[in-house]
Amino acid sequence: MPHDNHDQDHDHDPLEQGAALRVRALEELMVAKGLVDPATMDAIVEYYETETGPRNGAMVVARAWSDPEFKEWLLSDGSAAIAFMGFTGFQGEHMRVVENTDAVHNVVVCTLCSCYPWPVLGLPPTWYKSLAYRARVVREPRAVLAEFGVTVPEGQRVQVWDSTAEIRYLVLPQRPEGSEGETPEALAAHVTRNGMIGTALI
């Protein structure tokens, strides 16, 4: 996949390693001072690594593709429709779902920090938090998308959504051609994390 190298680059980013070291130092200090219980911290991390993740979002997308009424609800009240599917919690309280069409391709960023819809996508990928992505996707979205392997045709508008603490976005990709009659499970298998951020088509 074209974005794999992108991820890899950031894995070796000395700034990111510095951040990881600072986080670990903070964590050790807080544990030493008795401010946090390491078991609680481990449970929280495990929850976000195993219980939530892009599969949740993929199930939301698959349902929207196969159920027009649900799709209408999802687009008009993302928070309620997603909560109805059981995906609730921190960083997912106020959701807006934006639909890709032949006229518009949506892509999500948090220019200020790394706001991201955890209940439906899990933890954000490293590149999403990088200064380069946050700055460039606003200025030159088509160029950034091309680096992810996404070519947006001239006639298709690119809409960039800037997440905040108040509102998180999920992109509803266009349903793949030839997927008529597929079960929701099969439909969900088409959907990638990047597709729901907008840095992939599906």
| Residues with active-site annotation | 110, 113-115
Residue 110 sits in the site that holds Fe ion (CB under 5 A): yes
Q: Smaller CB distance to Fe ion: residue 124 or 175?
A: 124
- As given in the structure block, the two tokens for residue 170 are 């999920």
Residue 26 sits in the site that holds Fe ion (CB under 5 A): no
**Residue 198, phi-psi category: left (phi > 0), alpha (psi -120 to 50), beta (remainder):** left
Q: For Fe ion, which residue of 115, 120, 137, 191 counts as binding (CB under 5 A)?
A: 115
Supply the minimum distance, in Å, between the C-beta of residue 16 and Fe ion.
17
Residue 108 sits in the site that holds Fe ion (CB under 5 A): no
What's the residue count for the chain? Answer: 202
Supply the minimum distance, in Å, between the C-beta of residue 96 and Fe ion.
15
Over the Cα atoms of the chain, what is R_g? 18
Sole window of 111-119, 143-151, 153-161, 167-175 interacting with Fe ion (rule: CB under 5 A): 111-119
Supply the minimum distance, in Å, between the C-beta of residue 33 and Fe ion.
27
Shortest Cβ contact with Fe ion: which residue? 115
Map residue 47 onto helix, strand or coil: helix
Residue 113 sits in the site that holds Fe ion (CB under 5 A): yes
Look at the block and give the residue holding tokens 């298709």: 156
Q: Smaller CB distance to Fe ion: residue 16 or 182?
A: 16
Sole window of 62-70, 96-104, 114-122, 167-175 interacting with Fe ion (rule: CB under 5 A): 114-122
**54 touches 121 (CB < 8 A):** yes
Residue 135 sits in the site that holds Fe ion (CB under 5 A): no
Cα distances from 168 to residues 20, 44, 79, in angstroms, run 25, 21, 10
**195 touches 202 (CB < 8 A):** yes
Q: Alpha helix locations (H) across the chain?
A: 4-11, 14-32, 38-46, 54-66, 68-76, 78-84, 118-121, 126-129, 131-139, 141-147, 184-188, 193-197
Q: Smaller CB distance to Fe ion: residue 59 or 115?
A: 115
Binding site for Fe ion (CB under 5 A): 110, 112-113, 115
